[in-house]
Amino acid sequence: MMTEYAGYTIKWITLPWERQQAYALRQRVFCLEQGLFEGDDLDDIDRHARLLVALGSVGGWHDEVVGTVRIHQLEPGVWMGSRLAVESAYRRQGQLGSTLIRLAVCSAHALGCRAFYAQVQHQNEPLFRRMHWQTLEWQTLHGVRHARMQADLNFYPPCHDPLSGMVINATARKRTPDMPVFLTGAAV
């Protein structure tokens, strides 16, 4: 069941329940839905990776994890993102995956990232290309075609506060004839 949230916060995890729900979401997406792993998808990378979450918010309070991604440093200055997952009911929301990607790269950039890579499932490769990523090669992982991609860091300014993260307002304000444009940001 999908809760209609007024907004979403995308941030690094800070509380144990956020980690638990992120791992449970990954298990639903990668094990149950896609059948890529049996049981769970946890691996050695999870021991040192930074975990990011998209949290549905009600009245300013974080309610549940609806998206997640992890990042880790392969070597000094070289980062990798993986396990991007958004709850199926929230995939049409439209900004969760892209904002998780944005914060992943921007926060790594603030930590000295000089190169950021990801292995992206083929169906998500167009999204990453629109977000200024370049496909380097194609490979098969867990029986699924993946693009090995690299982010253009020029489009990802450093984010020095990933614990607070980024906020998405889920309700678009509509312009009425008597409402000034500056209140909505809508085009005239």
Q: What pTM value is reported for the model?
A: 0.88
pLDDT above 50: residue 11: yes
What does the pLDDT read at residue 177? 56
Residues 178 and 188: their CA atoms lie apart, in Å, by: 12
Bridge partners (DSSP) listed for residue 80: 72, 117
Per-residue pLDDT tens over the stretch 131-156:
999 999 999 999 999 999 999 999 99
Which one-letter DSSP state was computed for residue 46? G
**Residue 179 clears pLDDT 60, i.e. is over it:** no
CA angle, residues 99, 48, 113, in degrees to nearest 5? 55
pLDDT in tens, 14-40: 999 999 999 999 999 999 999 999 999
At a CB cut-off of 8 Å and minimum separation 6, what does 48 contact? 72
CB within 8 Å of 74: residues ≥ 6 apart: 80, 117
- Determine which helix (DSSP H) or strand (DSSP E) holds 157, and give its type and residue range: none
pLDDT band at 178 (very low <50, low <70, confident <90, very high): low
Between CA 119 and CA 125 the distance in angstroms is 9
